[in-house]
Amino acid sequence: MSLDIVILAAGQGTRMRSALPKVLHPVAGNSMLGHVIHSARQLQPQGIHVVIGHGAELVRERLAADDLNFVLQDKQLGTGHAVAQAIPAVTADTVLVLYGDVPLIEVETLQRLLAKVSDQQLGLLTVDLDDPTGYGRIVRDGQGQVTAIVEHKDASDAQKAIKEGNTGILAMPAARLSDWMGRLSNNNAQGEYYLTDVIAMAVADGLVVATEQPHDAMEVQGANDRRQLSELERHYQLREGRRLMALGVTLRDPARFDVRGEVTVGRDVLIDVNVILEGKVVIEDDVQIGPNCVIKNSTLRKGAVVKANSHLEGAVLGEGSDAGPFARLRPGSVLEAKAHVGNFVELKNAHLGEGAKVGHLTYLGDAEVGARTNIGAGTITCNYDGANKFKTVLGEDVFIGSNNSLVAPVEIKDGATTAAGSTINQTIEEKQLGVARARQRNIDGWKRPEKIKKS
Ligand code: UD1
Ligand code: CA
């Protein structure tokens, strides 16, 4: 079977009350349309055709990719009209229709649906609903065979009593499609070209309509307003939390945990409350993450510990290393095994060798720090002169006293020491002590200034 996927994404989404096209609103850090495209790709179709209309330029710009064919629907004349715009680009033998505002649909559900399609059969995804108001109703004959879909606004009272609703997701043999599309009319309550009319046409042509249901109704839930968007968000997060717990992660509270990207985890990982994981995050065995941490595009190796209120982006924490509380690790921060970063420390493009320690109130930018080197509180690298950045290189077993300014480019070699309060801008050779501060003077009989009396 070869497959083309058509994703409808032209609608306006008035109820979002937003300048942003509806399908670009995010769920778990990715646009709703982005989620649908991600699922579509996993089915390895030969084409993905995205029908755009409202905010077309922005949608195209945000999601452009080589494997996507954007099709413009100038006027939104209905779901049937939308699919028809993509038909000229279809080359496969099966067409699957998805929706840019129905982001949680699962690949496994779609695979079950596609298994039903042949040149004699359509696959229709339906859902049983307590309140099917607004949904197209699935009409079946005495033998239980689907014969038609009737839209809510066109339904009789008897049809309105049907609880089986149309999700809109549908897989069809492509050979018949242009014929059916050509026969659609807009002679109905909404004056729209309904994709759902294809069902009765297929039945009239002697085809069978086979149905499948999603495991979870949230898979087929669309978001028309921000309240529904938040429901999709929470559902997504709970699903992701359960997936990670099943793999060996303890989440202190799955309701206070957010993933906005792709996370891989090992076993016996502990994640405290209010942790946000963004982008690509790799967490190995025995890692512990304290409360209120944001971790983006980072790797935490076996046994690494991130303490409360830390912010990591583009960082690598080696085995048994630790950072925080209140650590800020910016892109290019690398901690080798057992390195230690304490509170109020900022690293940017800085490499800490094995067992190196940066305990308190420090900024290291563009720095190379050798194994076991210890950096005293309040030390900063002066890595930027306002125009260019320069490197600070510290060897192994270096001891930097408190409150040093390391003016780059500068090198401090193995085993060297610096005195507290030094401003270091020249090379210190191995095992030397560098002292670069004014000598202390004590002045006898010093008179403190007195307050000037106002007349
Ligand atoms: C549609 C179905 C209905 C189903 C419901 C599930 C039809 C006629 N009805 O109704 O049976 O129960 O979905 O939510 O298909 N769109 C376009 N171009 C258009 C029209 C729509 O791209 O010209 C897109 C919209 O952006 C939206 C989707 O198609 O994402 C569904 O359109 P909408 O008008 O909301 O259909 P419903 O009335 O919800
Ligand atoms: Ca709708």
- What distance in angstroms lies between residue 16's CA and the mean position of ligand 2's atoms? 13
Any atom of ligand 1 within 6 Å of the Cβ of 7: no
Q: Determine the average pLDDT of the residues in 269-289.
A: 98
Q: Determine the average pLDDT of the residues in 103-119.
A: 98
Any atom of ligand 1 within 6 Å of the Cβ of 73: yes
Any atom of ligand 1 within 6 Å of the Cβ of 85: no
- CA angle 134-139-140, nearest 5°? 155
CB contact burial 332-346 (16+ within 10 A = b; e otherwise): bbbbbbbbbbbbbbb
Q: CA 57, CA 388: separation in Å to the nearest integer? A: 38
- What distance in angstroms lies between residue 392's CA and the mean position of ligand 1's atoms? 60
| pLDDT tier at 1, thresholds 50, 70, 90 | confident
Q: Which amino acid is at 369?
A: V
Please count the helices (runs of H) and the strands (runs of E) in the chain. Answer: 8, 35
Any atom of ligand 1 within 6 Å of the Cβ of 135: yes
Domains and CATH numbers, the chain: 3-220 (3.90.550.10), 226-434 (2.160.10.10)
The pLDDT, as a whole number, for residue 455 is 84
CA distances from 316 to 15, 183, 297, 376 (A): 42, 59, 9, 22
- What distance in angstroms lies between residue 54's CA and the mean position of ligand 1's atoms? 14
Among all bound ligands, the one having the nearest atom to the CA of 74 is 1
Any atom of ligand 1 within 6 Å of the Cβ of 164: no
Token output for 378:
């309040």
Average pLDDT, the chain: 97
Which residues, in sequence order, are CB contacts of 7 under 8 Å at separation 6+? 33, 36, 37, 40, 48, 49, 50, 51, 97, 98, 99, 100
Check if 235 is active-site.
Answer: no
Q: CA 262, CA 34: separation in Å to the nearest integer? A: 14
CB contact burial 272-303 (16+ within 10 A = b; e otherwise): bebbbbbeebbbbebbbbbbbbbbbbbbbbbb
CB 274 within 8 A of CB 292: yes
Q: What is the pTM assigned to this prediction? A: 0.93
Selecting among 38, 54, 81, 360, the annotated active-site residue is 360
Q: CA 337, CA 6: separation in Å to the nearest integer? A: 49
Any atom of ligand 1 within 6 Å of the Cβ of 76: yes
The closest residue, in CA terms, to atom 14 on ligand 1 is: 167
Residue 404 predicted with pLDDT over 90: yes
Q: Per DSSP, what are the bridge partners of residue 375?
A: 358, 400
Nearest to 360 by CA among 350, 339, 349, 346: 346
Q: CA 194, CA 149: separation in Å to the nearest integer? A: 10
Residue 318 predicted with pLDDT over 90: yes
Run of H or E including 54: none
Any atom of ligand 1 within 6 Å of the Cβ of 21: no
* Cα dihedral 20/26/30/35 (nearest 10): -100
The closest residue, in CA terms, to atom 8 on ligand 1 is: 194
Q: CA 278, CA 310: separation in Å to the nearest integer? A: 14
The closest residue, in CA terms, to atom 27 on ligand 1 is: 11
Token output for 330:
């910016």
* Cα dihedral 27/32/34/37 (nearest 10): 130
- What distance in angstroms lies between residue 138's CA and the mean position of ligand 1's atoms? 15
Percent of the chain as helix, strand, coil, to the nearest 5:
20, 35, 45
Any atom of ligand 1 within 6 Å of the Cβ of 221: no
Tell me the longest C-alpha to C-alpha distance in the chain: 111
- Per-residue pLDDT of 193-219, as tens digits, reads 999 999 999 999 999 999 999 999 999
Among all bound ligands, the one having the nearest atom to the CA of 195 is 1
CA distances from 91 to 44, 45, 72, 254, 331 (A): 14, 11, 18, 44, 44
- Per-residue pLDDT of 412-436, as tens digits, reads 999 999 999 999 999 999 999 999 9
Among all bound ligands, the one having the nearest atom to the CA of 100 is 1
- What distance in angstroms lies between residue 205's CA and the mean position of ligand 1's atoms? 24
- Per-residue pLDDT of 73-97, as tens digits, reads 999 999 999 999 999 999 999 999 9
3-state secondary structure of 347: strand
Residue 251 predicted with pLDDT over 90: yes
| pLDDT tier at 12, thresholds 50, 70, 90 | confident
Residue 45 predicted with pLDDT over 90: yes
Token output for 73:
């629907």
Percent of the chain whose predicted confidence (pLDDT) is above 70 = 100
Side-chain-side CA neighbours of 61 within 13 Å: the count stands at 6
Any atom of ligand 1 within 6 Å of the Cβ of 78: yes
Among all bound ligands, the one having the nearest atom to the CA of 78 is 1
| pLDDT tier at 407, thresholds 50, 70, 90 | very high
Any atom of ligand 1 within 6 Å of the Cβ of 51: yes
- What distance in angstroms lies between residue 235's CA and the mean position of ligand 1's atoms? 22
CB 76 within 8 A of CB 191: no
Token output for 218:
């949230």
In degrees and rounded to multiples of 5, residue 406 shows phi and psi of -100, 105
Any atom of ligand 1 within 6 Å of the Cβ of 149: yes
- What distance in angstroms lies between residue 225's CA and the mean position of ligand 2's atoms? 11
Nearest to 294 by CA among 318, 277, 319: 277
Among 33, 79, 105, which residue has the most ligand 1 atoms within 8 Å of its CB, making it the best to mutate? 79
The pLDDT, as a whole number, for residue 409 is 98
Number of the ligand 1 atom closest to the C-alpha atom of 165: 12
Token output for 24:
């670009």
